[in-house]
Structure 1
Amino acid sequence: MNRTHPTRTRPIRARLACTLAAALLALPAVSVHALDGKWTPQQVLDIDARWLKQQGLKLPPSALWDGERGTGLLTGTVNIAGCSGAFVSNTGLIVTNHHCLFNLVQEHSSPQRDLITNGFLARTPAEELPGKTTRVEIPKRFTDVTARLLAAVPAGATPQQRLKAIDEAQKAIVAECRKQADIKCKVSAFDDGVTYTLIESIELRDIRLVYAPPRAIGEYGGEIDNWSWPRHTGDFAIARAWVGSDGRPADFAEGNKPFAPEFFFPISNDGVKEGDFVMVLGYPGITWRSLIADEMRERRERFFVRREDLFGEWIAILEKASEADAQARIALAANLKGIHNRYKNAQGQIAGLDRGRMVDKQRAADDAVAAWAAKQPAHADAITARDALREVLAERERSWERDFLLNLIPMGNDSVAGGIPPLPKGLYFAATLAHNAVEQGKPDEARASGWTAAEQSRLRDRLRREQANYSIDADRRVFAALVRRALALPQDQRIAAIDARFAGKTPAQIDEAIAALYAGTPVFDAAAQDAMLGEGLDALSARKDPLLDLGIAWNRELRALRERERDWNARAALHRPAWRRAVAAHAGKPIAPDANGTLRISFAHVQGYAPRDGMQYTPFTTLAGVLEKHTGKEPFDVPANVRAAAATQPTRRVNFLADGDTSGGNSGSPVIDGRGRLVGLNFDRVWENVAGDFGFNPAVSRNVSVDIGYMLWLLRDVEKADTLLQELGVASRK
């Protein structure tokens, strides 16, 4: 039996329809090319409601987003573990991808209880497994603060003074926002400052694992099938969000109760057919469509080439270090999975950029905008802006190789660009403790985001999570590989922290020196880490620990890089908005901003595609294909109970394609039909669309989703999870 949203949403929708009708009279409407773009919640109301209805939307757009209340069905989409997910019950159940909850599964796995291999099902809430570091963010409100921030910039300000003024105004807005109880606040820039939005969210801290399929289902096909079609992967998992007995966010406790969301997605029993309208909701992480051609060339010639090279080396190291060690395999599983994914992504980006001649096409597009802007007095600054962006890029490239290596070690809770794990852990721990010590020497209000007193517990949790991914042999080997790369840098790009300790050493001597760094250091001990998080830089230095000393030196150079990056970013933030305004004016239509980890919606239709001449892919795969691929060996080893059940229903759908505009971070995104019902979970893109981060190509832009019916079938016919199915509002076994 189908469910509806909580009863309070029905009158909300009726009221919002009136709001939308009035809003559309005042807003420019988008009637073409709306499929091209990851649209912000606010932009949903800019899209022609009649056009959306023609595409297949059965709800008023105001049901998706209410600009006055700053909420709507979109807020049923959550940010979970750096991925996207969706509430599917009024008891806090969340569906997302298996790979998005992989860390939580790993956290509770051991050689004696291998949940990674065997999967997990909590048959009662009491059996659910808590995640120490898993968090869920629920969007609450989006407020445009562009005018307020730009008004804070004094006349005649330099780029650095401008950025400082904007930063200070942002901090003031965030501080004001945080006076609300249980509200997390941040200001996000769109396309380097064309607009700024204050984003208010609720962060839930008690997240528990409910269901994860065996790895043979959750990543069926492994790296062989990754970024490709046809796929037959059950990339889904279920968690539950809990809150305190008072309904407010709380840490894990026995007395907590399931969270009751305002909006959740009912699960469709109808599925989808070819040509059906669907929507993909989520938090895409980063795209590069706002870059000028010169910057895209840097991504192609430097960034992805170096990532492919580095990740290939790391994969070989981690696989060799874990091949005969069961504990190491569990510890390294999540990191290795992530690196494999980004390694193949880098290859796909290079191939796609070349195949589509995307840099050349962008240069032609840039030239067209520049020629147009030269004749438009209102956009005369666009020509200067393009030249300035080129100058910033030229400066970046002078120290590119050095900076690439330094940026492999993030600061604390930051993520390495592209979502890769911080390696080696030893250097990450030491450099993070050093940076924290520097920040602790400042007044709390002057500390950088992520380092305040209130955020120390989150930093501690991050260190614990990375400790769970640590294996000493593998870490030392990755450390040695990093040292070798640093020692091979050109003379004008040296990393002094490495040269001072390793210059002139043979490979064997480097290994010995690293082993000595790891011997007896306190940085891998949780209790010692807690103590050092409360110490200043002088106290850390007084420990006379060689690994800590290296971390301090490395962080010193990384902080200096951040200052240079701040200068580059200040200049880019001054000039890119001028260029992007000209691009939008030349296009004559609204343009969705680049992905930046904020909530977006993409509109799509279920359809196949032709990857190359003479080949046509259909949009669906079935259990028959799962059985056909089965070899009995990884990554095509279907569990016996699944094979037996699948043999009776070979036509049941497993995965499907749509032309959604997605990117990294859309993993776990709910795919909903025109009535707002959940029909699938996005988990990948096709190989020909990996470079879609640089531009939308309707011929090959295809996202890959798991049919939600496949998850329900596994729960019903394989797991016999009747209680969970009833909670999901779908029929259990007869």
Structure 2
Amino acid sequence: MKKALLFLSLLSAPALAGEGKWTPQQVLQLDAAALKKQGLRLPPQKLWDPKRGTGLLAGTVNVGGCSGAFISEAGLVITNHHCAFSIIQEHSTPQRDLLTQGFLARTREEELPGKGARIQVPRAFTDVTKQMLEAVPAGADDLARQKALERKEKELVAECEKRPATRCKVARFEGGLQFTLLDSVELADVRLVYAPPRSVGEYGGEEDNWMWPRHTGDFSILRAYVAPDGSAAQFSARNVPYKAEFFFPLAPEGVKPDDFVMVLGYPGITFRAMLADEMADRQSRYYPRVIDVYGELIRILEEQGEKDPAGKIAVASNLKSLHNRYKNAGGQLAGLKRGHLVEKQREAEAAVVEWTRTRKEWAAALQARTELLALRDEDAKTFERNFLLDALRGVTKGPGLAAMLVRMAQERVKPDLEREPEFMERELPRQKDRLEREQKNFFPPADKRVVLALVRRAQALGAGERIAAIDKAFGRTFSEKDVSAKIDALYAGSKVMELAERQKMAGESEAQLRARKDPLLELGFDLAAELVVLDDLRDRREGAGVRLMPQWRRAVLAHAGKPVAPDANGTLRVTFAKVKGYAPRDGVFHVPQTTLAGVLEKNTGEEPFNAPSKVVAAAEARKFGPWLDPRLKDVPVNFLADADTTGGNSGSPTVNGKGQLVGVNFDRVWENVSNDFGYNPDVARNVNVDVRYVLWLLDQVEDADALLRELGVRKGAKAQERR
């Protein structure tokens, strides 16, 4: 335990600007004077009060894998357009295409509920390292270690979730050097208030994704509701808006270059603690395979979507996700090469190895590194097979949902604490939501072609990596005609993709599912058997990591002798930054702000630069209202800062030193994608929607009077217009 506390104190030294994703507790340990000098106008205790376990940071919420922020006392939440995409898609039809047209609820009665949408509000963080490590039996092997830790985590979470509407999880830092219990209130009635047209929310599309300059209004506004007594509840017409104790008022003055800002949110995962050889594997194997496989699947979904308006809506969410991962992989590869990040990690690692060799007390760290490298070599042997199994589970609808139904039945017969985490009772509402939501994403011609592409790849695997389920269903050699016919027969003879039947299947036993003699379910049984083996393999690997990684990381931290920021792990963090431009290459400098003039310059009238006519008309008429930046002589659209962000920071509030919202984070620049492996202050830039563009759209384009009044800016807007 003392070592875990030492770890925290090392992390809390006063290296503030740029690099570092700090936990709420660590913010209190930072140098308050240095923060004030940088631009923080609030006492750090206003950000987080450890006695109450809350503070202004609690205005930052988790929105289903994205971040978001309360911006009114009455439960309004701002996040990214792409984070609210599934709700917008859910209510879209060819006759009422909200994805294309956008949506504004002019009254609360018009707000649209999102099936399965949830918002988690942070409540407390508790160090549980001692309890977790004491749960591992003496002499446990790696699989037993992971199972014991998993069991203890479930117990801690179960105890934490005895309170209603509570969502808890245990997060690991530095591979198991520290464990923290996160306690959040979960709000299950989430409704869409405003979404701009897709040609605003995605202006520039994939061409501009990860790029600068940007002119994208990637934001949407939601509202959280609760029961009349204030308790969290499922959707009901009787529900009332959630009363947010902490929220971020909007700062209509926005930002200017060199301003201090903070980006708050839930960054997902970074890889800066990886060994150099593990980084090299991501570079040489993982990202090229993402580009190869996902690139093919993207082409399939795009081709099939163009053939049918309803199909285009159905594949939109999956296509957006695949596009993002595909382009991310390209950026990672470019950044790893450009920044020589593997080589730099190898040099840093070699320095730690040399240092430990002269100190007997760190002998265990050297041994741990040797074992970690051996595990990496073992993982490489089945990489291709495991990658395709994951794609079959996560990308396909038919086989993926069939395997999920089988796993649900198999796990249901076990005591709750012995089930795999994703199949515990607490997860059933999410599972059922997914079973329903995926119907909206299902377009048979596209899904069949995706399965065909993955089967072709599986049948090309070597003898040591065969997927038995695929060989059994489709044979060992690929024939497009034969495999296509078999896929058609699978879907034609199955009821898995009929929503009502699938919902019945979700409650059936393994025997009942087998008795159906449904061909997709039969494939699902075979896939599930291999996924169980794969998951056990990964559990064993995870257990080995908890045994070895902390030993190595202690040596790295001791050798550094200075703050080393922890890798992102999906927990609430804050990063301190400045608004600034950057030089992506020799002879080029990018300024940190873009304006409406740039929207018009890019506008071609065709996708991906097809700005809505009402936006173009207001911009061309110079209807700026009070949102004009006097220095820029235009309305700002996006801005850059040097915040340390990653995936999961989508929708993060970007706030000024007073705690007022000045923007919404939605991307990084192309040169900064590989920031996941190492922070480079020269190119580390995150991209934000300027709050003035948000307000300009709501005011001058949408005339969203009620919403602007609730945000506290309409009165001021009208007053300034009169002047």
Which residue is 2:560 aligned to?
Answer: 587
2:41 matched to 1:69?
no
From 491, 494, 508, the counterpart of 1:521: 494
In structure 2, give the amino acid aligned to 1:731: R
- TM-superposed CA distance for 1:321, in Å, is 0.4
- TM-superposed CA distance for 1:505, in Å, is 4.7
- Structure 2 unaligned regions, length at least 5: 1-8, 625-632, 719-723
From 668, 686, 707, the counterpart of 1:703: 686
Looking at structure 1, the residues matched to 462 and 544 of structure 2 have their Cα atoms a distance apart, in angstroms, of 27
In structure 1, give the amino acid aligned to 2:543: A
What SS is found at the alignment partner of 2:77? strand
From 603, 615, 633, the counterpart of 2:576: 603
2:480 matched to 1:480?
no
**Structure 1 residues 28, 584: closer, same or farther in 2, change over 3 A?**
closer
In structure 2, give the amino acid aligned to 1:700: V
In structure 1, give the amino acid aligned to 2:564: I
**Is the 1:273–1:606 contact (alpha carbons within 8 Å) kept by the matching residues of 2?**
yes
Looking at structure 2, the residues matched to 259 and 376 of structure 1 have their Cα atoms a distance apart, in angstroms, of 57
2:547 matched to 1:564?
no
**Is the 2:155–2:417 contact (alpha carbons within 8 Å) kept by the matching residues of 1?**
no
- TM-superposed CA distance for 1:642, in Å, is 1.0
From 400, 403, 425, the counterpart of 1:431: 403
What SS is found at the alignment partner of 2:714? coil
What SS is found at the alignment partner of 1:450? helix
- TM-superposed CA distance for 1:181, in Å, is 2.6
Looking at structure 2, the residues matched to 52 and 374 of structure 1 have their Cα atoms a distance apart, in angstroms, of 38
Looking at structure 2, the residues matched to 641 and 225 of structure 1 have their Cα atoms a distance apart, in angstroms, of 22
Residue correspondence of structure 1 range 408-487 to structure 2 within 5 A: 408-410=391-393, 422-487=394-459
Which residue is 1:576 aligned to?
Answer: 549
- TM-superposed CA distance for 1:34, in Å, is 4.6
- TM-superposed CA distance for 1:163, in Å, is 2.5
Looking at structure 1, the residues matched to 682 and 245 of structure 2 have their Cα atoms a distance apart, in angstroms, of 38
From 646, 658, 669, the counterpart of 2:619: 646
**Is the 1:139–1:202 contact (alpha carbons within 8 Å) kept by the matching residues of 2?**
yes
Which residue is 1:14 aligned to?
Answer: none
2:596 matched to 1:623?
yes
**Is the 1:57–1:675 contact (alpha carbons within 8 Å) kept by the matching residues of 2?**
yes
- Bigger Cα displacement from structure 2, 90-99 vs 45-54: 45-54
From 267, 270, 275, the counterpart of 2:250: 267
- TM-superposed CA distance for 1:594, in Å, is 1.2
In structure 2, give the amino acid aligned to 1:259: Y
What SS is found at the alignment partner of 1:604? strand
Looking at structure 2, the residues matched to 304 and 273 of structure 1 have their Cα atoms a distance apart, in angstroms, of 37
Which residue is 1:3 aligned to?
Answer: none
RMSD: 1.5
Looking at structure 2, the residues matched to 308 and 208 of structure 1 have their Cα atoms a distance apart, in angstroms, of 35
**Is the 1:76–1:263 contact (alpha carbons within 8 Å) kept by the matching residues of 2?**
yes
- TM-superposed CA distance for 1:559, in Å, is 0.6
In structure 2, give the amino acid aligned to 1:621: T
Looking at structure 1, the residues matched to 11 and 604 of structure 2 have their Cα atoms a distance apart, in angstroms, of 55
Looking at structure 2, the residues matched to 576 and 34 of structure 1 have their Cα atoms a distance apart, in angstroms, of 28
Looking at structure 2, the residues matched to 208 and 243 of structure 1 have their Cα atoms a distance apart, in angstroms, of 11
**Structure 1 residues 250, 33: closer, same or farther in 2, change over 3 A?**
closer
The superposition leaves residues 155-198 of structure 1 with CA deviations (integer Å, 9 ceiling, x where unpaired) of 44333333333223222222221222322121111121111000
From 162, 183, 187, the counterpart of 2:145: 162
In structure 2, give the amino acid aligned to 1:548: L
Looking at structure 1, the residues matched to 433 and 426 of structure 2 have their Cα atoms a distance apart, in angstroms, of 13
In structure 2, give the amino acid aligned to 1:488: A
**Is the 1:84–1:667 contact (alpha carbons within 8 Å) kept by the matching residues of 2?**
yes
Residue correspondence of structure 1 range 202-351 to structure 2 within 5 A: 202-351=185-334
2:325 matched to 1:354?
no
**Structure 1 residues 323, 72: closer, same or farther in 2, change over 3 A?**
same
The superposition leaves residues 144-165 of structure 1 with CA deviations (integer Å, 9 ceiling, x where unpaired) of 1012211233344333333333
Looking at structure 1, the residues matched to 14 and 425 of structure 2 have their Cα atoms a distance apart, in angstroms, of 49
Query: What TM-score results when the alignment is normalised by the length of structure 1?
Result: 0.93
Residue correspondence of structure 1 range 652-731 to structure 2 within 5 A: 652-731=635-714
**Is the 1:56–1:277 contact (alpha carbons within 8 Å) kept by the matching residues of 2?**
yes
Which residue is 2:605 aligned to?
Answer: 632
Query: What TM-score results when the alignment is normalised by the length of structure 2?
Result: 0.95
In structure 2, give the amino acid aligned to 1:80: V
In structure 2, give the amino acid aligned to 1:443: P
**Is the 1:73–1:264 contact (alpha carbons within 8 Å) kept by the matching residues of 2?**
yes
Residue correspondence of structure 1 range 12-411 to structure 2 within 5 A: 30-32=13-15, 34-410=17-393
What SS is found at the alignment partner of 2:421? coil
- TM-superposed CA distance for 1:39, in Å, is 1.3
- TM-superposed CA distance for 1:79, in Å, is 0.7
In structure 1, give the amino acid aligned to 2:457: R
In structure 2, give the amino acid aligned to 1:132: K
- TM-superposed CA distance for 1:572, in Å, is 1.2
- TM-superposed CA distance for 1:30, in Å, is 2.0
From 533, 539, 543, the counterpart of 2:506: 533
Looking at structure 2, the residues matched to 665 and 548 of structure 1 have their Cα atoms a distance apart, in angstroms, of 34
- Bigger Cα displacement from structure 2, 40-49 vs 396-405: 40-49
From 542, 552, 555, the counterpart of 2:515: 542
What SS is found at the alignment partner of 1:85? strand
**Is the 2:78–2:220 contact (alpha carbons within 8 Å) kept by the matching residues of 1?**
yes
2:490 matched to 1:507?
no
- TM-superposed CA distance for 1:454, in Å, is 4.4
Paired-residue identity, %: 55
What SS is found at the alignment partner of 2:580? coil
Looking at structure 2, the residues matched to 470 and 662 of structure 1 have their Cα atoms a distance apart, in angstroms, of 33
The superposition leaves residues 636-693 of structure 1 with CA deviations (integer Å, 9 ceiling, x where unpaired) of 1112221121121461100000000000111100000001000000000000000010
- TM-superposed CA distance for 1:199, in Å, is 0.6
Looking at structure 2, the residues matched to 28 and 291 of structure 1 have their Cα atoms a distance apart, in angstroms, of 18
- TM-superposed CA distance for 1:28, in Å, is 7.8
**Is the 1:37–1:592 contact (alpha carbons within 8 Å) kept by the matching residues of 2?**
yes
Which residue is 1:13 aligned to?
Answer: none
**Is the 2:456–2:478 contact (alpha carbons within 8 Å) kept by the matching residues of 1?**
no
In structure 2, give the amino acid aligned to 1:253: S
**Is the 2:10–2:563 contact (alpha carbons within 8 Å) kept by the matching residues of 1?**
no
What SS is found at the alignment partner of 1:304? helix
In structure 2, give the amino acid aligned to 1:564: L
What SS is found at the alignment partner of 1:408? helix
In structure 1, give the amino acid aligned to 2:572: L
In structure 2, give the amino acid aligned to 1:624: A
**Is the 1:81–1:101 contact (alpha carbons within 8 Å) kept by the matching residues of 2?**
no
- TM-superposed CA distance for 1:209, in Å, is 0.3
**Is the 1:31–1:51 contact (alpha carbons within 8 Å) kept by the matching residues of 2?**
yes
**Is the 2:580–2:592 contact (alpha carbons within 8 Å) kept by the matching residues of 1?**
yes
- TM-superposed CA distance for 1:114, in Å, is 0.7
In structure 2, give the amino acid aligned to 1:709: R
- TM-superposed CA distance for 1:31, in Å, is 2.4
**Is the 1:185–1:198 contact (alpha carbons within 8 Å) kept by the matching residues of 2?**
yes
In structure 1, give the amino acid aligned to 2:576: F
What SS is found at the alignment partner of 1:202? strand
What SS is found at the alignment partner of 2:337? helix
